[in-house]
Every structure is written in C-alpha cells, then in structure tokens.
Amino acid sequence: MGRWEPEARARLERAAMELYGERGYEQTTVAEIANRAGLTERTFFRHFADKREVLFGGAGALKDVLVNGVLGAPASASPIEAIAAGLEGAGAMFQPRHELAMHRQAIIDANTELQERELIKLATLATALSEALQQRGVRDSIANLVAETGMAIFKIAFARWIDPANRSDLSQIIHESLTELKSIF
C-alpha cells in the first residue's frame, strides 16, 4: 500500500458499514475493516478512535448544524421556533444520506452498546441546544425543557423518516411533528 491513501476515511466508512451489515457489528474487527478498505489498521486509527466511531463520527457536524440553526434564528423567534430552525437544518443535512441512515440505524438497533452510545449522543446534542438557547437569553429551565423536547421531536421524526414506507423528507416530517406538538397545547 502506498503512503498516500485517497479518500481513506470514506473507504473505511464504506468497508465498515458493509461488514457490519454482512457480519454484524460485534463480529467485525478493525483489521477486517482496514483490509476491506485496502488500508492498514494504523490508517484506521488515524481516522477513528475505535470501530464505534465509524457510526458516530458525524456527531460534531450535526451538533454544529443544530447549534448554528438555533443561534441563527431571528431574534423574534420563540425558543421552540429557534429549535425548529436547528432541527430543520439537521433534516436538510441528513436528506441526501437516507439509505446510509437506514443502514446505520439498523446496525445500532441490533446492538445494545451502540444504542447506549446513541442515547449519549442525543443527550449531548440536547445540552448543546440548551446552551445555544441560553446564549439567546432563554432562562436555563426553559432552555433545558425546549432542548429536550426538540431532541425528542428529532428522534421521533428520524424514526419515521427511515421507515421504508416513508415518502416524505426529514425536514418535512420535523415540521409536521412540531405542528402536531403545538396542536395539543
């Protein structure tokens, strides 16, 4: 193998997702992922801390989109409207990755350790949303409540979006979910 590995991260992600799908997450080793990608284990560890991070490596980008959406909402936006702006931005980010998201979620759903990691990721995102709302001047207790509500909406909308029977885009489902929530109050 040469010293320069074009698109190494993407190749490793593809290889890992293929192997997780074929053999299961627990039965797949880093060595097998690197081999399938035509790379070394050392290259794998330059891009990922461990094999879980192949599935969770995009959390930072998601956090940035959510927080920037909240902070970029108009000053007149209510806390839930600011959260909606962040969630809809995340929906747009995910839309082109529908097949990958379905595959990723199936892998997570099949493994308790990965489910736990997903819950930690969602909690971290809720904290980031709460902090963004607080930067907008929203009181701590309200910011926490609205941020947690926003993440619950995202989680439910995401599950609807990856359902094979779904024909709507994620941003549309998020918007519909927010409208449904507002209608019950």
Pick the CATH number of 58-183 from 1.10.357.10, 1.10.3720.10, 3.40.50.2000, 1.25.40.10: 1.10.357.10
Whether the pLDDT of residue 5 is over 70: the answer is no
Give the pLDDT of residue 4. 55
Helices and strands (DSSP H and E) totals, the chain = 10, 0
Residues 97-145 pLDDT 10s: 899 999 999 999 999 999 999 999 999 999 999 999 999 999 999 999 9
Whether the pLDDT of residue 46 is over 90: the answer is yes
CA distance 19 to 103: 12
Q: What topology is assigned to 8-54 in CATH?
A: Arc Repressor Mutant, subunit A (1.10.10)
Q: At what angle do helices 112-135 and 79-94 cross, to 10 degrees?
A: 130
Q: How do the domains of the chain map onto residue ranges?
A: 8-54, 58-183
Burial of 113 (0-12, 13-18, 19+ CB in 10 A): exposed
